[in-house]
Amino acid sequence: MTNIIVIVGPGRLGRSAAKILEQNGHQSILIGHGESIPPAEVTWLTVPDRAIEAAAKAVPVGGIVLHASGAHTTEPLRPHSPAGSLHPLMTFPGPEMGLPDEPVIPAAVSGDPEAIVAARTLSGMLGFSAFEVPGDRALYHAAAVTSGNFASLLMMEAARMLTAAGVPEEQARPLLAPLAIASIKSAAAHGSSALTGPIARGDENVIAAHTAALNTMDPNLAVLYQTLAEATRRIKR
């Protein structure tokens, strides 16, 4: 049984993790679809959620098996024991596009006690900062999707609005990015007190003008804006 980390799944995360381990002086074996999985002390499944159960069945028994899913418990890994999860709370576009350069990358760990120890160790090898999620995995993953995917969606939709206002499309996202990043950093540090803008000030006439303009541009955007505006009002009450 090898003590080299075996990573099953050469997707964006798997390829990135293998590259990071290499850069940090650690050995790993990256296993692709259909390839035989060698016995290992730690096997990390970085396959899509739908493929976890099938991948786990192909892992030789005897070592610690982890998955990289934010949404799932250890159930798809059974009967492997110890079993757990290591889910980086970060987006990975793939090493060809670049590795994350954030100074701290949180990584959620959970599972059997021995698997949590292994996940923390692997997290340290990758340079991640491990934290435990003992509660509802669906709530944890919903938080990750909301802060990651939805933040990206809002940037793209805001860029559409700016382009409709006459700013060249290729400039829209770069122009909005500093504001978005500063706002997120402020919210992370100060919570709801960091909210600024017309909703926080109660300038409802401005909000009405926004909604009317968006309704003309794209009624779906107007609905999205109104939903977010109401959510902001609830937080500020």
Average pLDDT over residues 35-39: 96
Rounded to an integer, the average pLDDT of 137-151 is 94
Indicate the average pLDDT of the chain. Answer: 95
Question: For the domain bounded by 5-134, which CATH number is listed?
Answer: 3.40.50.720
Quote the pTM value.
0.87
Angle, CA 126 vertex, CA 125 and CA 132 arms, to 5°: 90
Using the predicted structure, report yes or no on whether residue 7 has a pLDDT greater than 80. yes
Given pLDDT bands bounded at 50, 70 and 90, which one contains residue 236?
Answer: confident
Residue labelled with tokens 């998955």:
67
For the residues 137-155, what does the mean pLDDT come to?
94
Does 1 score more than 90 pLDDT?
Answer: no
Say what the pLDDT of residue 2 is: 73
Q: How many CA atoms lie within 13 A of 87 on its CB side?
A: 24
CATH of 139-236, one of 2.40.50.100, 2.30.30.30, 1.10.1040.20, 2.40.50.140: 1.10.1040.20
Alpha-carbon dihedral angle through residues 157, 161, 163, 164, given to the nearest 10 degrees = 130
Tell me: the pLDDT tens digits for 160-209?
999 999 999 999 999 999 999 999 999 999 999 988 899 989 899 999 99
Q: Residues of CATH 1.10.1040.20 domain(s) within the chain?
A: 139-236
Q: Look at residue 33 in the predicted model and tell me its pLDDT.
A: 86
